[in-house]
Chains A and B, each alone.
Chain A
Amino acid sequence: MDNMTITNAQYLLVDGGEQHIKATIDGVEMQVPIATGNKEYDEIQRQVAAGDLTIADAD
């Protein structure tokens, strides 16, 4: 498990589907694919499950 500080998580709506999550991770804005095995996505899921993070809906 990695210690990541994740804030401002929000789904990105592209071509009508939620393809990515935009989030600030350790101070850097990143676009994280919704793909199990991706380290950042796995950590987002872990923090959501733990109640430490909420992903906002897409604009």
Chain B
Amino acid sequence: MSKAAELAALIGSQTALSNRNIVINGAMQVAQRATSASAKSSAGFHVVDRFKFVNNTSTGAVDIEQSTTVPAGQGFGSSLKVSTSTAKATLTGTNEFGIQQRIEGRNLQVLNHGTSSASKATLSFWVRSNKTGTYVVWFYKEGSNRNIQRQFTISSADTWEKKALTIDGDTSGSIANDSSNELEFFIVLGTGPDRSSGTAPTTWQTLDNADRYVGQTVNILDSTSNNFYLTGVQLEVGEQATPFEHRSFGDELARCQRYYWQTNRLDFGPSLGSGNVGNFRQFINFPTEMREAPTVTVGTFASESGSFTPSVASISTRVLHHSFEVGTSSQANARVRGDNPAFKYSAEL
């Protein structure tokens, strides 16, 4: 058998031909909240969907953007760019800083963790940074409190490089088949000593916080000249990194909306004419069933005499029922004004 045939047979035996990529929005196409955010010193989903920016350094801050800088010839249109805006040269204590995605258990059953058939998995991605050195990717299963890490090196500054990291199957620590956070990966961009002073967990093992990021040499926060780009993130069954599975924007958006979506003013609908008073109700159907009943952030609504905030009357994974508790003539002529979007729905992990 030729080498090519052997490789094809190996890949075919380990991975599906479609829907291989467990990661959502790996090509950084979808950015519902914003396409850029400045001086972020706190954790959160600031820019591209599903990728959470983790930062507990207090003073270190970054600018984040959905960038058009991408590796040439790979079919990508976007990347996630992080650039330091306020430096913190020395990270201390439990400081941690990086990019994370959490994955719900229903999407992970294919890994067969907790059984003798536990599968290896490979995380591949494209990175570029001015900071050469060793980076850690930390994998953690919250349900069983087990972790493993792998390391990669950026050897050429300001040059796109593709990385592939294979982790073992875990015959212990089963993954619940539900909507909870069952596996997260964390691309470390900086760490304090309390997270990196132990022994690197190179096999699945019970978490010891001192072990998490052992081996990380880079601190992206150490200079305002630093930046880090990421795209083409793919997690798949097996020990081979197959070519990135490009999905349509619509497919990726729908996957993201299971965790977050927002209604814009023009989507919202009702505008009550002057003189309308009373208790108005409206149902908003979600574009896809959300992971859990979402937390709602409500924008500012206007009336003839001032702003007010509607109350959420009931909510499920599929529909929001909200109430315009207008009640008096002073709040007639209700309409959405000012804030855009009007409602934000978050069921993130």
Contact A39 B348 (CB under 8 A): yes
Distance between A18 CB and nearest chain B CB, rounded to angstroms:
12
Q: What is the number of contacts between chain A and chain B, taking CB atoms within 8 Å?
A: 61
CA A26 to CA B52, docked complex, whole Å: 15
Contact B313 A31 (CB under 8 A): no
Distance between A15 CB and nearest chain B CB, rounded to angstroms:
6
Check A32 for interface membership: any CB of B closer than 8 A: yes
Contacts of B42 in A (CB 8 A): 26
Check B294 for interface membership: any CB of A closer than 8 A: yes
Contact B347 A38 (CB under 8 A): yes
Given A3-B43, A3-B56, residue A38 in contact with residue B312 (CB < 8 A): no
CA A40 to CA B295, docked complex, whole Å: 7
Contact A38 B314 (CB under 8 A): no
Interface size of B in residues (CB-CB distance below 8 Å) = 25
Contacts of B311 in A (CB 8 A): 12, 14, 20, 31
**CB-CB contacts below 8 Å: B296-339 with A:** 296-298, 309, 311-315, 323
Question: Would you give the 0/1 interface string for B173-206, flagging 1 where the beta carbon is closer than 8 Å to chain A?
Answer: 0000001100000000000000000000000000
Check B270 for interface membership: any CB of A closer than 8 A: no
For A19, give its contact among B43, B297, B312 (CB under 8 Å): B312
Given A12-B312, A31-B295, residue A39 in contact with residue B349 (CB < 8 A): yes
Contacts of A3 in B (CB 8 A): 43, 56
Contacts of A35 in B (CB 8 A): 292-293
CA A17 to CA B296, docked complex, whole Å: 18
Contact B312 A14 (CB under 8 A): yes
Question: Could you give 30 example pairs across A and B, Cβ below 8 Å?
Answer: A12-B312, A14-B311, A14-B312, A14-B314, A15-B313, A20-B312, A26-B44, A28-B297, A29-B298, A30-B295, A30-B296, A30-B297, A31-B297, A31-B298, A31-B311, A31-B312, A35-B292, A35-B293, A37-B180, A37-B291, A37-B292, A38-B292, A38-B293, A38-B295, A38-B347, A39-B346, A39-B348, A40-B295, A40-B346, A41-B295
- Give the interface of B toward A (CB within 8 A): 42-44, 56, 179-180, 291-298, 309, 311-315, 323, 346-349
